[in-house]
Copies of this chain bind each other. A is one copy, B any other.
Amino acid sequence: MIGAESIARAESAVSLQSVSPGDDDATTLGIEIYARLRRDLIAGHLKPGERLRFRQLSAAYGVGIAPLREALSRLVSDQLVRFEGHRGYTVAPLSLSDLHDLCALRTELSCNALRRSIAGGDEDWEAEILAALHRLERTPLPHSVEDRKTVDEWEQRHDRFHHSLIAACGSPWLLHFCGALSDHFQRYRRAVIVVTSSSEALLKRVREQHRTVAEAAIARDAERATTILAEHFQGSVEVVIRNYEEVSRSLSAGNGD
């Protein structure tokens, strides 16, 4: 009954913060539960491969199955959830090959989008980058993965910074794809980085990369910006892959999952 525990933990974690500050109009239970499930999927509170039973989810999130089906259906098209007729929904699995594919394409598409942004971005784009970078730098790194609030905060601002870099690319489709890849990569990152194993040197390098990319972008130095961005992604991928192998080794040793 590991599944039930996992779902229960996901719920208790998520119910801390409300869905949105305003929480005003035009929202339905289906939309809310979609957003909550999506967050919990990406954050890894729902474990890859885990079955998503309606009764459990219904109890954990406090909604009926009608909104749940709606949310899960959308998540299937988002590739975060798998579905087999008459056999229910499961959390999409992680795999090393998927991780490699994901990262390679993300690097290509993000660099592409960054180039376009540099070519076409205006002052507001520049301002947003600086604002997002500032907020990211002032966000404390979590000392433990258990400190979910800090992890969520940092991930959100990190995402926002990377989004700000490419926001002016002028292509909604490209942004959409980059967003999808970014979400999936975050799922790997958070599933895998169990310990804050990062050395001080690594963290410093990452921070420098963020700043350098931002500077190069605003200076309209496309070559430099994309080079650093690609290096930044490459570095993250290597850390994730190293941890992935550790985690899957310990998993296969622990149980036959």
Contact = CB atoms under 8 A, between A and B. Distances in A.
Nearest to A105: B173
Interface in A24-63: 25-28, 30-31
Main secondary structure of the interface of A (DSSP, over half): helix
A112 interface: yes
A101 B172 contact: yes
Nearest to A175: B101
26 contacts: A26-B86, A26-B87, A28-B86, A30-B73, A31-B85, A66-B66, A66-B69, A69-B69, A69-B70, A69-B73, A70-B73, A73-B73, A73-B74, A74-B76, A74-B77, A76-B77, A77-B77, A79-B176, A98-B172, A101-B171, A101-B172, A102-B173, A105-B171, A105-B174, A173-B181, A177-B177
Q: Which of A73, A75, A87 has the most CB of B within 10 A?
A: A73
A122 interface: no
